Protein backbone atom coordinates (compact mmCIF):
# COMPACT_ATOMS: atom_id res chain seq x y z
CA UNK A 1 0.00 0.00 0.00
CA UNK A 2 1.40 3.39 -0.99
CA UNK A 3 1.28 6.63 0.96
CA UNK A 4 0.92 7.04 4.70
CA UNK A 5 -0.86 3.77 5.35
CA UNK A 6 -1.02 2.63 8.98
CA UNK A 7 -1.39 -0.89 10.30
CA UNK A 8 -4.99 -1.28 11.52
CA UNK A 9 -4.03 -2.84 14.87
CA UNK A 10 -1.43 -0.18 15.62
CA UNK A 11 -3.91 2.49 14.55
CA UNK A 12 -6.76 1.20 16.74
CA UNK A 13 -4.47 1.00 19.74
CA UNK A 14 -3.17 4.49 19.23
CA UNK A 15 -6.54 6.24 19.21
CA UNK A 16 -7.54 4.69 21.83
CA UNK A 17 -39.88 19.30 41.98
CA UNK A 18 -37.48 17.35 43.71
CA UNK A 19 -39.20 16.63 47.04
CA UNK A 20 -40.48 13.40 45.58
CA UNK A 21 -36.94 12.31 44.74
CA UNK A 22 -35.28 12.30 48.14
CA UNK A 23 -32.16 14.22 49.07
CA UNK A 24 -29.34 12.02 50.38
CA UNK A 25 -26.66 13.79 52.37
CA UNK A 26 -22.97 14.01 51.56
CA UNK A 27 -22.19 16.18 48.52
CA UNK A 28 -19.59 15.10 46.00
CA UNK A 29 -17.72 17.94 44.34
CA UNK A 30 -15.97 17.70 41.02
CA UNK A 31 -14.60 21.07 39.98
CA UNK A 32 -11.49 22.81 38.77
CA UNK A 33 -9.60 25.44 40.75
CA UNK A 34 -11.70 28.57 41.38
CA UNK A 35 -11.23 31.50 39.05
CA UNK A 36 -10.48 35.02 40.20
CA UNK A 37 -14.18 35.86 40.24
CA UNK A 38 -17.05 33.48 40.92
CA UNK A 39 -20.69 34.36 40.39
CA UNK A 40 -23.84 32.39 41.09
CA UNK A 41 -26.91 32.15 38.85
CA UNK A 42 -30.09 30.18 39.42
CA UNK A 43 -32.97 29.17 37.17
CA UNK A 44 -35.67 26.53 36.80
CA UNK A 45 -33.48 24.64 34.34
CA UNK A 46 -29.85 24.88 33.27
CA UNK A 47 -29.15 23.79 29.70
CA UNK A 48 -25.48 23.19 28.93
CA UNK A 49 -24.87 23.38 25.20
CA UNK A 50 -26.38 25.73 22.64
CA UNK A 51 -26.67 22.96 20.06
CA UNK A 52 -29.81 22.52 17.97
CA UNK A 53 -31.09 20.30 20.76
CA UNK A 54 -30.13 22.90 23.35
CA UNK A 55 -31.89 25.70 21.48
CA UNK A 56 -35.02 23.58 21.07
CA UNK A 57 -34.96 22.63 24.76
CA UNK A 58 -34.62 26.29 25.75
CA UNK A 59 -37.46 27.42 23.46
CA UNK A 60 -39.74 24.67 24.81
CA UNK A 61 -38.96 25.48 28.45
CA UNK A 62 -39.33 29.23 27.86
CA UNK A 63 -42.72 29.01 26.14
CA UNK A 64 -43.89 26.95 29.11
CA UNK A 65 -42.94 29.70 31.52
CA UNK A 66 -39.67 28.42 32.98
CA UNK A 67 -36.64 30.51 33.81
CA UNK A 68 -33.75 29.20 31.73
CA UNK A 69 -29.96 29.42 31.74
CA UNK A 70 -28.41 28.37 28.43
CA UNK A 71 -24.65 28.09 27.97
CA UNK A 72 -22.64 27.57 24.80
CA UNK A 73 -18.94 26.87 24.29
CA UNK A 74 -18.61 28.95 21.11
CA UNK A 75 -20.00 32.41 20.41
CA UNK A 76 -22.66 30.99 18.05
CA UNK A 77 -25.69 29.04 19.21
CA UNK A 78 -27.17 26.47 16.82
CA UNK A 79 -24.58 23.69 16.79
CA UNK A 80 -24.40 21.68 13.60
CA UNK A 81 -26.56 24.19 11.73
CA UNK A 82 -24.33 27.19 12.58
CA UNK A 83 -20.98 26.80 14.35
CA UNK A 84 -20.37 23.48 12.57
CA UNK A 85 -21.66 24.87 9.24
CA UNK A 86 -23.68 21.84 8.13
CA UNK A 87 -26.80 22.40 6.00
CA UNK A 88 -29.72 20.32 7.29
CA UNK A 89 -29.88 16.63 6.47
CA UNK A 90 -33.59 15.82 6.25
CA UNK A 91 -36.00 13.19 4.98
CA UNK A 92 -38.19 13.61 1.92
CA UNK A 93 -41.42 14.40 3.84
CA UNK A 94 -39.95 17.26 5.86
CA UNK A 95 -42.09 20.01 4.30
CA UNK A 96 -45.36 18.43 5.52
CA UNK A 97 -44.76 15.98 8.35
CA UNK A 98 -42.21 13.87 10.17
CA UNK A 99 -40.92 16.74 12.32
CA UNK A 100 -42.26 18.98 15.07
CA UNK A 101 -44.19 22.13 14.24
CA UNK A 102 -41.44 24.18 15.89
CA UNK A 103 -38.79 22.68 13.59
CA UNK A 104 -40.85 23.52 10.53
CA UNK A 105 -41.29 26.99 12.05
CA UNK A 106 -37.50 27.25 12.21
CA UNK A 107 -37.30 26.38 8.52
CA UNK A 108 -40.02 28.92 7.67
CA UNK A 109 -38.25 31.62 9.64
CA UNK A 110 -35.02 30.95 7.73
CA UNK A 111 -36.84 31.36 4.42
CA UNK A 112 -38.63 34.47 5.66
CA UNK A 113 -35.30 35.95 6.78
CA UNK A 114 -34.01 35.68 3.23
CA UNK A 115 -37.19 37.27 1.88
CA UNK A 116 -36.95 40.19 4.32
CA UNK A 117 -33.22 40.87 4.25
CA UNK A 118 -31.72 39.51 1.03
CA UNK A 119 -32.04 40.87 -2.53
CA UNK A 120 -33.70 37.78 -3.99
CA UNK A 121 -34.82 37.71 -7.58
CA UNK A 122 -38.57 37.95 -8.06
CA UNK A 123 -38.69 34.32 -9.14
CA UNK A 124 -36.83 33.13 -6.04
CA UNK A 125 -38.91 35.31 -3.72
CA UNK A 126 -42.10 33.72 -4.99
CA UNK A 127 -40.96 30.16 -4.37
CA UNK A 128 -42.95 28.84 -1.37
CA UNK A 129 -40.21 26.31 -0.57
CA UNK A 130 -37.26 28.59 -1.24
CA UNK A 131 -33.90 26.80 -1.31
CA UNK A 132 -31.33 29.64 -1.27
CA UNK A 133 -28.43 27.42 -2.32
CA UNK A 134 -30.39 24.97 -4.46
CA UNK A 135 -28.18 22.28 -2.96
CA UNK A 136 -29.21 18.68 -3.43
CA UNK A 137 -28.56 17.42 0.12
CA UNK A 138 -31.53 19.38 1.46
CA UNK A 139 -34.58 21.32 0.40
CA UNK A 140 -33.21 24.19 2.47
CA UNK A 141 -29.49 24.79 1.91
CA UNK A 142 -28.59 28.14 3.46
CA UNK A 143 -25.83 30.15 5.10
CA UNK A 144 -25.13 29.20 8.73
CA UNK A 145 -25.29 32.78 9.95
CA UNK A 146 -28.88 33.09 8.70
CA UNK A 147 -29.88 30.25 11.00
CA UNK A 148 -27.90 31.97 13.75
CA UNK A 149 -29.81 35.22 13.19
CA UNK A 150 -33.13 33.38 13.28
CA UNK A 151 -32.31 31.59 16.54
CA UNK A 152 -31.08 34.79 18.15
CA UNK A 153 -34.24 36.63 17.09
CA UNK A 154 -36.35 33.79 18.48
CA UNK A 155 -34.67 34.02 21.88
CA UNK A 156 -34.32 37.82 22.01
CA UNK A 157 -37.63 38.61 23.77
CA UNK A 158 -36.85 36.09 26.51
CA UNK A 159 -33.38 37.58 27.00
CA UNK A 160 -34.81 41.08 27.21
CA UNK A 161 -37.40 40.03 29.79
CA UNK A 162 -34.79 38.22 31.88
CA UNK A 163 -36.53 34.86 31.54
CA UNK A 164 -33.49 33.57 29.64
CA UNK A 165 -29.87 34.11 30.56
CA UNK A 166 -27.57 33.14 27.71
CA UNK A 167 -23.85 32.68 28.36
CA UNK A 168 -21.74 32.06 25.27
CA UNK A 169 -18.05 31.15 25.20
CA UNK A 170 -18.53 29.23 28.44
CA UNK A 171 -17.43 25.68 29.16
CA UNK A 172 -18.67 23.36 31.91
CA UNK A 173 -15.78 22.34 34.18
CA UNK A 174 -17.34 20.91 37.32
CA UNK A 175 -20.41 19.97 39.30
CA UNK A 176 -21.67 19.51 42.82
CA UNK A 177 -23.63 16.34 43.47
CA UNK A 178 -25.71 14.98 46.30
CA UNK A 179 -26.50 11.34 45.82
CA UNK A 180 -28.39 10.92 42.58
CA UNK A 181 -29.04 14.64 42.22
CA UNK A 182 -27.04 17.32 40.46
CA UNK A 183 -26.93 20.36 42.72
CA UNK A 184 -24.98 22.76 40.52
CA UNK A 185 -22.76 23.00 37.47
CA UNK A 186 -19.74 25.28 37.29
CA UNK A 187 -18.85 26.90 33.98
CA UNK A 188 -15.82 28.98 33.13
CA UNK A 189 -15.65 31.83 30.66
CA UNK A 190 -13.30 31.24 27.75
CA UNK A 191 -12.82 35.00 27.37
CA UNK A 192 -12.75 36.43 30.88
CA UNK A 193 -11.24 35.44 34.21
CA UNK A 194 -14.60 34.38 35.56
CA UNK A 195 -16.45 31.32 36.71
CA UNK A 196 -20.16 30.94 37.31
CA UNK A 197 -21.96 28.42 39.51
CA UNK A 198 -25.32 27.48 37.97
CA UNK A 199 -28.05 26.04 40.19
CA UNK A 200 -31.47 24.67 39.24
CA UNK A 201 -33.85 21.81 40.04
CA UNK A 202 -33.11 20.36 36.58
CA UNK A 203 -30.14 20.18 34.23
CA UNK A 204 -30.09 19.35 30.53
CA UNK A 205 -26.98 18.15 28.70
CA UNK A 206 -27.28 19.46 25.16
CA UNK A 207 -23.54 19.71 24.56
CA UNK A 208 -22.02 18.28 21.40
CA UNK A 209 -19.94 15.67 23.23
CA UNK A 210 -22.01 14.93 26.34
CA UNK A 211 -19.79 17.13 28.50
CA UNK A 212 -21.97 16.96 31.61
CA UNK A 213 -21.95 13.18 31.83
CA UNK A 214 -18.44 12.69 33.28
CA UNK A 215 -18.72 15.89 35.32
CA UNK A 216 -21.92 14.68 37.01
CA UNK A 217 -20.78 11.05 37.24
CA UNK A 218 -23.68 10.03 35.03
CA UNK A 219 -23.02 6.58 33.60
CA UNK A 220 -22.32 6.67 29.87
CA UNK A 221 -21.00 4.72 26.89
CA UNK A 222 -18.57 5.70 24.16
CA UNK A 223 -17.57 4.08 20.91
CA UNK A 224 -18.81 0.76 19.61
CA UNK A 225 -20.69 -1.88 21.59
CA UNK A 226 -20.14 -5.58 21.00
CA UNK A 227 -22.72 -7.56 19.05
CA UNK A 228 -22.94 -9.98 21.97
CA UNK A 229 -24.23 -7.08 24.08
CA UNK A 230 -26.69 -5.49 21.66
CA UNK A 231 -27.53 -8.33 19.24
CA UNK A 232 -27.27 -5.84 16.38
CA UNK A 233 -26.62 -7.20 12.91
CA UNK A 234 -24.04 -4.55 12.11
CA UNK A 235 -22.28 -4.40 15.48
CA UNK A 236 -18.66 -5.49 15.69
CA UNK A 237 -17.45 -8.58 17.51
CA UNK A 238 -15.99 -6.77 20.50
CA UNK A 239 -16.69 -3.54 22.30
CA UNK A 240 -14.28 -0.71 21.58
CA UNK A 241 -14.93 2.57 23.44
CA UNK A 242 -12.29 4.32 21.30
CA UNK A 243 -13.87 3.29 17.99
CA UNK A 244 -15.79 6.46 17.12
CA UNK A 245 -16.97 8.05 13.90
CA UNK A 246 -14.79 10.58 12.13
CA UNK A 247 -15.37 14.24 12.80
CA UNK A 248 -15.01 16.94 10.15
CA UNK A 249 -13.89 20.55 10.00
CA UNK A 250 -16.24 22.01 7.41
CA UNK A 251 -15.64 25.15 5.35
CA UNK A 252 -17.40 27.26 2.69
CA UNK A 253 -15.85 28.00 -0.68
CA UNK A 254 -16.87 30.46 -3.38
CA UNK A 255 -16.16 30.09 -7.09
CA UNK A 256 -15.11 33.42 -8.63
CA UNK A 257 -14.47 33.04 -12.39
CA UNK A 258 -11.21 34.55 -13.60
CA UNK A 259 -9.71 35.01 -10.13
CA UNK A 260 -6.77 33.31 -8.41
CA UNK A 261 -7.27 32.79 -4.69
CA UNK A 262 -4.77 29.99 -4.15
CA UNK A 263 -3.88 29.76 -0.46
CA UNK A 264 -0.39 29.12 0.90
CA UNK A 265 0.52 25.45 0.97
CA UNK A 266 -0.56 24.06 4.38
CA UNK A 267 2.19 22.80 6.65
CA UNK A 268 0.91 19.21 6.56
CA UNK A 269 0.04 19.14 2.88
CA UNK A 270 2.65 16.51 1.98
CA UNK A 271 1.28 14.17 4.63
CA UNK A 272 -2.38 14.55 3.68
CA UNK A 273 -1.66 14.47 -0.06
CA UNK A 274 -0.20 10.98 0.36
CA UNK A 275 -2.53 9.78 3.13
CA UNK A 276 -4.52 6.57 2.61
CA UNK A 277 -7.14 5.98 5.32
CA UNK A 278 -6.32 2.75 7.22
CA UNK A 279 -9.76 1.19 6.95
CA UNK A 280 -11.42 -2.17 6.41
CA UNK A 281 -12.74 -2.77 3.82
CA UNK A 282 -9.84 -0.92 2.22
CA UNK A 283 -10.20 2.66 1.04
CA UNK A 284 -9.63 2.69 -2.75
CA UNK A 285 -6.63 5.02 -2.67
CA UNK A 286 -5.49 8.39 -1.45
CA UNK A 287 -7.95 10.45 0.57
CA UNK A 288 -7.34 13.58 -1.52
CA UNK A 289 -8.93 12.15 -4.63
CA UNK A 290 -12.46 12.01 -6.02
CA UNK A 291 -12.62 8.21 -5.77
CA UNK A 292 -14.07 7.02 -2.47
CA UNK A 293 -15.84 4.03 -0.92
CA UNK A 294 -19.52 4.11 -1.77
CA UNK A 295 -21.27 3.89 1.64
CA UNK A 296 -23.99 1.44 0.66
CA UNK A 297 -22.21 -0.85 -1.82
CA UNK A 298 -18.72 -0.70 -0.31
CA UNK A 299 -17.27 -0.45 -3.82
CA UNK A 300 -14.99 2.27 -5.21
CA UNK A 301 -17.03 5.06 -6.72
CA UNK A 302 -16.07 8.35 -8.29
CA UNK A 303 -17.40 11.67 -7.08
CA UNK A 304 -17.65 14.59 -9.47
CA UNK A 305 -16.66 18.19 -8.89
CA UNK A 306 -17.52 20.90 -11.37
CA UNK A 307 -18.30 24.50 -10.32
CA UNK A 308 -18.52 25.43 -14.01
CA UNK A 309 -21.82 23.67 -14.73
CA UNK A 310 -24.21 20.86 -13.97
CA UNK A 311 -22.21 18.27 -15.90
CA UNK A 312 -20.11 15.99 -13.69
CA UNK A 313 -17.93 12.95 -14.26
CA UNK A 314 -18.92 11.26 -10.97
CA UNK A 315 -22.01 9.91 -9.24
CA UNK A 316 -22.81 13.36 -7.88
CA UNK A 317 -21.42 16.84 -8.37
CA UNK A 318 -19.95 17.74 -5.00
CA UNK A 319 -20.18 21.42 -5.86
CA UNK A 320 -23.97 21.24 -6.01
CA UNK A 321 -24.41 18.79 -3.14
CA UNK A 322 -24.09 21.27 -0.25
CA UNK A 323 -24.26 24.52 -2.20
CA UNK A 324 -25.54 27.15 0.26
CA UNK A 325 -25.62 30.12 -2.14
CA UNK A 326 -26.88 29.85 -5.70
CA UNK A 327 -26.06 33.27 -7.11
CA UNK A 328 -28.91 32.94 -9.63
CA UNK A 329 -31.39 33.21 -6.72
CA UNK A 330 -30.14 36.73 -5.96
CA UNK A 331 -30.01 39.97 -7.89
CA UNK A 332 -26.97 40.57 -10.04
CA UNK A 333 -23.91 41.61 -8.06
CA UNK A 334 -25.03 40.23 -4.73
CA UNK A 335 -22.43 37.46 -4.81
CA UNK A 336 -19.26 37.05 -6.81
CA UNK A 337 -20.24 33.45 -7.46
CA UNK A 338 -21.91 30.41 -5.96
CA UNK A 339 -20.85 29.21 -2.50
CA UNK A 340 -20.67 25.56 -1.49
CA UNK A 341 -20.06 23.95 1.89
CA UNK A 342 -17.30 21.33 2.03
CA UNK A 343 -18.30 18.41 4.24
CA UNK A 344 -17.02 15.55 2.12
CA UNK A 345 -15.44 12.13 2.57
CA UNK A 346 -12.12 13.82 1.75
CA UNK A 347 -12.06 15.85 4.99
CA UNK A 348 -13.34 13.24 7.44
CA UNK A 349 -10.66 12.97 10.15
CA UNK A 350 -9.98 9.42 11.42
CA UNK A 351 -6.68 9.78 13.27
CA UNK A 352 -8.12 10.55 16.70
CA UNK A 353 -11.18 11.21 18.81
CA UNK A 354 -12.75 14.17 20.55
CA UNK A 355 -14.20 11.99 23.34
CA UNK A 356 -12.07 10.14 25.87
CA UNK A 357 -8.93 12.20 25.29
CA UNK A 358 -7.12 14.93 27.19
CA UNK A 359 -7.61 18.61 26.38
CA UNK A 360 -4.15 18.63 24.80
CA UNK A 361 -5.01 15.63 22.59
CA UNK A 362 -8.35 17.28 21.70
CA UNK A 363 -6.57 20.40 20.50
CA UNK A 364 -4.01 18.29 18.62
CA UNK A 365 -6.67 16.38 16.68
CA UNK A 366 -8.65 19.52 15.90
CA UNK A 367 -5.46 21.19 14.63
CA UNK A 368 -4.67 18.22 12.39
CA UNK A 369 -8.26 18.06 11.14
CA UNK A 370 -7.97 21.73 10.19
CA UNK A 371 -4.76 20.94 8.34
CA UNK A 372 -6.63 18.21 6.48
CA UNK A 373 -9.38 20.61 5.43
CA UNK A 374 -6.89 23.28 4.35
CA UNK A 375 -4.94 20.62 2.46
CA UNK A 376 -8.12 19.59 0.67
CA UNK A 377 -8.69 23.23 -0.25
CA UNK A 378 -5.15 23.59 -1.58
CA UNK A 379 -5.47 20.33 -3.53
CA UNK A 380 -8.71 21.55 -5.10
CA UNK A 381 -7.02 24.79 -6.12
CA UNK A 382 -3.86 23.22 -7.51
CA UNK A 383 -4.27 19.54 -8.42
CA UNK A 384 -7.92 18.54 -8.81
CA UNK A 385 -8.94 17.27 -12.25
CA UNK A 386 -11.13 19.58 -14.35
CA UNK A 387 -13.59 18.47 -16.99
CA UNK A 388 -12.04 20.97 -19.42
CA UNK A 389 -8.77 19.04 -19.20
CA UNK A 390 -7.02 21.43 -16.85
CA UNK A 391 -5.77 20.90 -13.34
CA UNK A 392 -6.80 22.84 -10.25
CA UNK A 393 -9.43 25.45 -9.49
CA UNK A 394 -7.59 28.60 -8.36
CA UNK A 395 -10.91 30.43 -8.76
CA UNK A 396 -12.05 28.88 -5.47
CA UNK A 397 -11.70 31.04 -2.41
CA UNK A 398 -12.35 30.56 1.28
CA UNK A 399 -15.13 32.68 2.79
CA UNK A 400 -14.21 33.33 6.45
CA UNK A 401 -17.08 35.78 6.83
CA UNK A 402 -19.62 33.04 6.14
CA UNK A 403 -18.52 31.08 9.23
CA UNK A 404 -17.27 33.97 11.38
CA UNK A 405 -13.64 32.85 11.66
CA UNK A 406 -10.25 34.16 10.54
CA UNK A 407 -9.08 30.94 8.90
CA UNK A 408 -12.29 30.30 6.92
CA UNK A 409 -12.98 27.01 8.72
CA UNK A 410 -16.05 26.31 10.85
CA UNK A 411 -15.91 27.41 14.48
CA UNK A 412 -16.36 23.90 15.83
CA UNK A 413 -15.87 20.36 14.51
CA UNK A 414 -18.86 18.63 12.97
CA UNK A 415 -19.53 15.96 15.59
CA UNK A 416 -21.19 12.69 14.59
CA UNK A 417 -20.80 10.78 17.82
CA UNK A 418 -21.00 11.76 21.48
CA UNK A 419 -20.89 10.18 24.88
CA UNK A 420 -24.23 8.39 25.33
CA UNK A 421 -26.09 8.00 28.59
CA UNK A 422 -26.84 4.65 30.16
CA UNK A 423 -30.53 5.28 29.71
CA UNK A 424 -33.77 3.85 31.01
CA UNK A 425 -34.17 2.54 27.46
CA UNK A 426 -31.66 2.12 24.65
CA UNK A 427 -32.64 2.12 20.97
CA UNK A 428 -31.14 -0.85 19.14
CA UNK A 429 -30.85 -1.80 15.49
CA UNK A 430 -33.68 -4.29 15.97
CA UNK A 431 -35.99 -1.33 16.63
CA UNK A 432 -35.22 0.74 13.54
CA UNK A 433 -33.05 -1.19 11.04
CA UNK A 434 -35.02 -2.42 8.03
CA UNK A 435 -33.11 -5.70 7.60
CA UNK A 436 -33.19 -6.71 11.24
CA UNK A 437 -36.83 -5.63 11.65
CA UNK A 438 -37.76 -7.81 8.69
CA UNK A 439 -35.99 -10.82 10.18
CA UNK A 440 -37.68 -10.31 13.55
CA UNK A 441 -41.21 -9.57 12.35
CA UNK A 442 -41.31 -11.63 9.16
CA UNK A 443 -42.91 -8.65 7.42
CA UNK A 444 -41.91 -6.79 4.28
CA UNK A 445 -43.02 -3.96 2.02
CA UNK A 446 -45.56 -1.54 3.44
CA UNK A 447 -46.24 -3.85 6.37
CA UNK A 448 -42.67 -3.48 7.65
CA UNK A 449 -42.42 -0.71 10.24
CA UNK A 450 -40.05 0.39 12.97
CA UNK A 451 -40.79 -0.58 16.55
CA UNK A 452 -43.67 1.30 18.14
CA UNK A 453 -42.64 2.87 21.43
CA UNK A 454 -45.49 3.50 23.92
CA UNK A 455 -43.41 6.32 25.41
CA UNK A 456 -42.75 8.07 22.08
CA UNK A 457 -41.96 11.79 22.32
CA UNK A 458 -40.91 12.42 18.73
CA UNK A 459 -40.26 11.02 15.28
CA UNK A 460 -37.48 10.93 12.71
CA UNK A 461 -36.31 9.30 9.53
CA UNK A 462 -32.78 8.84 8.22
CA UNK A 463 -30.59 5.96 7.14
CA UNK A 464 -28.06 4.57 9.58
CA UNK A 465 -25.07 6.39 8.16
CA UNK A 466 -21.81 5.71 10.01
CA UNK A 467 -18.78 7.46 8.56
CA UNK A 468 -15.32 5.86 8.65
CA UNK A 469 -14.18 5.42 12.23
CA UNK A 470 -11.09 5.86 14.34
CA UNK A 471 -11.12 2.10 14.95
CA UNK A 472 -10.54 1.45 11.27
CA UNK A 473 -14.08 0.73 10.05
CA UNK A 474 -15.07 1.97 6.61
CA UNK A 475 -18.62 3.22 6.01
CA UNK A 476 -21.50 1.35 7.63
CA UNK A 477 -24.63 2.47 5.83
CA UNK A 478 -28.00 0.74 5.58
CA UNK A 479 -31.72 1.41 5.44
CA UNK A 480 -33.92 2.20 8.40
CA UNK A 481 -37.66 2.69 8.79
CA UNK A 482 -39.36 5.92 9.89
CA UNK A 483 -38.87 5.75 13.64
CA UNK A 484 -39.96 7.19 16.97
CA UNK A 485 -37.98 8.76 19.80
CA UNK A 486 -38.66 6.95 23.11
CA UNK A 487 -38.77 9.05 26.26
CA UNK A 488 -36.73 6.44 28.10
CA UNK A 489 -33.77 7.21 25.87
CA UNK A 490 -33.58 10.78 27.26
CA UNK A 491 -33.50 9.74 30.92
CA UNK A 492 -30.41 8.36 32.68
CA UNK A 493 -31.13 5.16 34.56
CA UNK A 494 -29.82 6.57 37.86
CA UNK A 495 -29.38 10.35 37.97
CA UNK A 496 -32.74 11.91 38.77
CA UNK A 497 -32.62 15.49 37.52
CA UNK A 498 -30.43 15.37 34.39
CA UNK A 499 -31.75 14.84 30.86
CA UNK A 500 -29.99 14.21 27.56
CA UNK A 501 -30.98 16.47 24.67
CA UNK A 502 -28.61 15.88 21.78
CA UNK A 503 -26.61 12.97 20.35
CA UNK A 504 -26.03 11.78 23.92
CA UNK A 505 -29.34 9.92 24.34
CA UNK A 506 -29.74 6.18 24.85
CA UNK A 507 -28.68 4.95 21.42
CA UNK A 508 -25.85 2.67 20.35
CA UNK A 509 -22.88 3.29 18.12
CA UNK A 510 -25.07 1.85 15.34
CA UNK A 511 -28.43 3.55 15.96
CA UNK A 512 -26.82 6.88 16.75
CA UNK A 513 -26.23 7.01 13.00
CA UNK A 514 -29.90 7.82 12.36
CA UNK A 515 -30.74 9.82 15.51
CA UNK A 516 -28.00 12.44 15.05
CA UNK A 517 -29.43 14.60 12.23
CA UNK A 518 -30.90 18.08 12.46
CA UNK A 519 -34.69 17.53 12.79
CA UNK A 520 -34.28 14.57 15.15
CA UNK A 521 -31.87 16.42 17.42
CA UNK A 522 -34.26 19.38 17.50
CA UNK A 523 -37.11 17.07 18.45
CA UNK A 524 -35.06 15.42 21.20
CA UNK A 525 -34.23 18.83 22.65
CA UNK A 526 -37.84 19.98 22.49
CA UNK A 527 -39.00 16.85 24.29
CA UNK A 528 -36.42 17.43 27.02
CA UNK A 529 -37.48 21.06 27.52
CA UNK A 530 -41.14 20.09 27.65
CA UNK A 531 -40.40 17.27 30.09
CA UNK A 532 -38.75 19.66 32.53
CA UNK A 533 -41.73 22.00 32.28
CA UNK A 534 -44.17 19.13 32.85
CA UNK A 535 -42.10 17.83 35.77
CA UNK A 536 -42.11 21.24 37.44
CA UNK A 537 -45.84 21.76 36.87
CA UNK A 538 -46.83 18.28 38.07
CA UNK A 539 -44.19 18.07 40.85
CA UNK A 540 -43.11 14.72 39.50
CA UNK A 541 -39.58 13.85 38.48
CA UNK A 542 -38.89 12.49 34.96
CA UNK A 543 -38.53 8.91 36.20
CA UNK A 544 -41.95 9.03 37.82
CA UNK A 545 -43.52 10.36 34.62
CA UNK A 546 -41.77 7.73 32.51
CA UNK A 547 -42.71 4.82 34.77
CA UNK A 548 -46.43 5.62 35.08
CA UNK A 549 -48.63 4.97 32.00
CA UNK A 550 -51.18 7.52 33.20
CA UNK A 551 -48.60 10.24 33.84
CA UNK A 552 -46.83 9.42 30.60
CA UNK A 553 -50.08 9.80 28.67
CA UNK A 554 -50.65 13.21 30.23
CA UNK A 555 -47.18 14.31 29.16
CA UNK A 556 -47.67 13.03 25.61
CA UNK A 557 -50.94 14.97 25.36
CA UNK A 558 -49.06 18.10 26.40
CA UNK A 559 -46.48 17.47 23.67
CA UNK A 560 -49.09 16.97 20.97
CA UNK A 561 -50.92 20.15 21.96
CA UNK A 562 -47.65 22.01 21.42
CA UNK A 563 -47.10 20.59 17.94
CA UNK A 564 -44.84 17.65 18.74
CA UNK A 565 -45.35 14.65 16.44
CA UNK A 566 -45.07 11.37 18.34
CA UNK A 567 -46.14 8.95 15.59
CA UNK A 568 -46.01 8.54 11.83
CA UNK A 569 -49.19 8.55 9.71
CA UNK A 570 -50.65 5.11 9.08
Give which of 569, 568, 566 is closest to 552, Cα–Cα: 566
Does residue 2 lie within any of the structural domains? no
Instruction: List the single range of 9-23, 25-39, 539-553 with lowest mean pLDDT.
Output: 9-23
223 — pLDDT class (breaks 50, 70, 90): very high
When pLDDT is averaged across residues 476-499 and rounded to a whole number, the result is 98
**In a shared domain, residues 470 and 530:** yes
Domain that holds residue 374: 246-403
**In a shared domain, residues 201 and 288:** no
Give which of 1, 2, 5, 63 is closest to 351, Cα–Cα: 5
**In a shared domain, residues 159 and 124:** yes
Q: Would you state the pLDDT for residue 570?
A: 80
**What would the pLDDT profile of 400-425 be if each residue is shown by its tens digit?**
999 999 999 999 999 999 999 999 99
pLDDT of 35 higher than 70: no
For every residue of 52-76, which 3-state class applies, written as one string? HHHHHHHHHHHHCCCCEEEEECCCC
Report the predicted TM-score, pTM, of the whole model to 2 decimal places.
0.93
Average pLDDT across the chain, whole number: 94
**What would the pLDDT profile of 507-542 be if each residue is shown by its tens digit?**
999 999 999 999 999 999 999 999 999 999 999 999
Q: Starting at the earlier edge strand, list the strands of the sheet with 396-398.
A: 323-325, 339-342, 251-255, 396-398
* Whole-angstrom distance, CA of residue 137 vs CA of residue 277: 25
When pLDDT is averaged across residues 83-98 and rounded to a whole number, the result is 96
pLDDT of 265 higher than 50: yes
**In a shared domain, residues 367 and 314:** yes
Distances (CA, A) of 371 to 95, 293, 407: 38, 22, 11
**In a shared domain, residues 262 and 197:** no
When pLDDT is averaged across residues 122-128 and rounded to a whole number, the result is 97
When pLDDT is averaged across residues 104-112 and rounded to a whole number, the result is 98
**In a shared domain, residues 396 and 326:** yes
Give which of 3, 39, 11, 63 is closest to 270, Cα–Cα: 3
**In a shared domain, residues 387 and 434:** no
pLDDT of 18 higher than 70: no
pLDDT of 119 higher than 90: yes
**In a shared domain, residues 162 and 260:** no
| Cα radius of gyration (the chain) | 23
Pairing of strands 464-466, 456-460: unpaired
Q: Would you state the pLDDT for residue 36?
A: 58
Q: Would you state the pLDDT for residue 310?
A: 84
DSSP letter at 487?
A: G
**What would the pLDDT profile of 379-395 be if each residue is shown by its tens digit?**
999 999 999 889 999 99
Does residue 46 lie within any of the structural domains? yes
Which residues make beta-bridge pairs with 478? 464
Does residue 165 lie within any of the structural domains? yes
Share of the chain above pLDDT 70, in %: 94
Q: How many domains does the chain have?
A: 2
314 — pLDDT class (breaks 50, 70, 90): confident
Does residue 19 lie within any of the structural domains? no
Give which of 154, 171, 246 is closest to 207, Cα–Cα: 171
Amino acid sequence: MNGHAIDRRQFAGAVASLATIGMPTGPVINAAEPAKRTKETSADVVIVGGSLGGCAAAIAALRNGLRVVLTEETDWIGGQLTSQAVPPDEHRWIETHGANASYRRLRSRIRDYYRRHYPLTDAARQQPNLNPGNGTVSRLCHEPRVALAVLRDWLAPYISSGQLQLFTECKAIGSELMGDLVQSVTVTSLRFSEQRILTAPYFVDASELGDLLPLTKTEYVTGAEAGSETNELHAQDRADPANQQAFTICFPIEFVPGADHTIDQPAEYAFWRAFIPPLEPAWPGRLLDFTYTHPRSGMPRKLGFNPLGPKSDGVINLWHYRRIVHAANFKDGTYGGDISLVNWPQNDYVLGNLVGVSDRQWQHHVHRAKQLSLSLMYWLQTEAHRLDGGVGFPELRLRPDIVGTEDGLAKYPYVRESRRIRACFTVLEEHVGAEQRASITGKSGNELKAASFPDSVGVGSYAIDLHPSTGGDNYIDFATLPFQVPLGALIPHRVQNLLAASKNIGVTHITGGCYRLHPVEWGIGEAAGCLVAHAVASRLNPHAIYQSPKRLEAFQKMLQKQGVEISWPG
